[in-house]
Amino acid sequence: MSSQHFIPPVNFGMIEEDLYRSGQPNELNFPFLEKLGLRTIAWLAPEEPNQRFLDFIDDQDIQLHHLGVVSSVNAWDPITEEAVLQAFKLILSPSNYPMMIMCNLGRHRTGTIVGCLRKLQKWNLTSIFEEYRRYAGPKVRLLNEQFIELFDTDLVVVPTNQPKWL
């Protein structure tokens, strides 16, 4: 008798209903991802996802939005305001759900997007940073926390058909 295991990707988490976060998955994570029924993936890393993951995305008919290309060339720099606003256009449109936000390890770029989203949801900074640090582990980047703190939520265009959790 064969049993299938469902293993989530590194740094997987549920942000809100049908909105998830993680690092780049590998083949062991594909059965888990299939169960989520993803419609959209926002990819935040500057490089392309690996080929096996791209094949999985294609096989599952998932829309991939590569937003990392609008980021800085230096991987240590915080994600750009432009990339955050592009991600929000996807995140704030329920027609893209179920959706996952990803970067290589699901720490810094993904954490910054989620932190800015929490700020838009009017979370206090202590709670936002606690969540960011939980996923970043010992690799916290103060520039990312500063970016979240200074992010101007007035720049975000909230659509009329916004998600119910906003």
Cα separations in angstroms, 42 against 17, 50, 92, 138: 16, 15, 12, 25
In this structure, the number of other CB atoms found within 10 A of the CB of residue 75 comes to 14
- Which pair of structure tokens corresponds to residue 103? 């970067």
103 noted as active-site residue: yes
Task: Render pLDDT for 3-49 as a digit per residue (tens, 0 to 9).
Answer: 678 999 999 999 999 999 999 999 999 999 999 999 999 999 888 99
- Which pair of structure tokens corresponds to residue 9? 């990707």
Cα separations in angstroms, 123 against 44, 61, 114, 126: 23, 34, 11, 8
pLDDT bracket for residue 55 (50, 70, 90):
very high
Q: Which of 67, 103, 113, 114 is catalytic?
A: 103
Task: Render pLDDT for 72-109 as a digit per residue (tens, 0 to 9).
Answer: 556 566 688 999 999 999 999 999 999 999 999 999 99
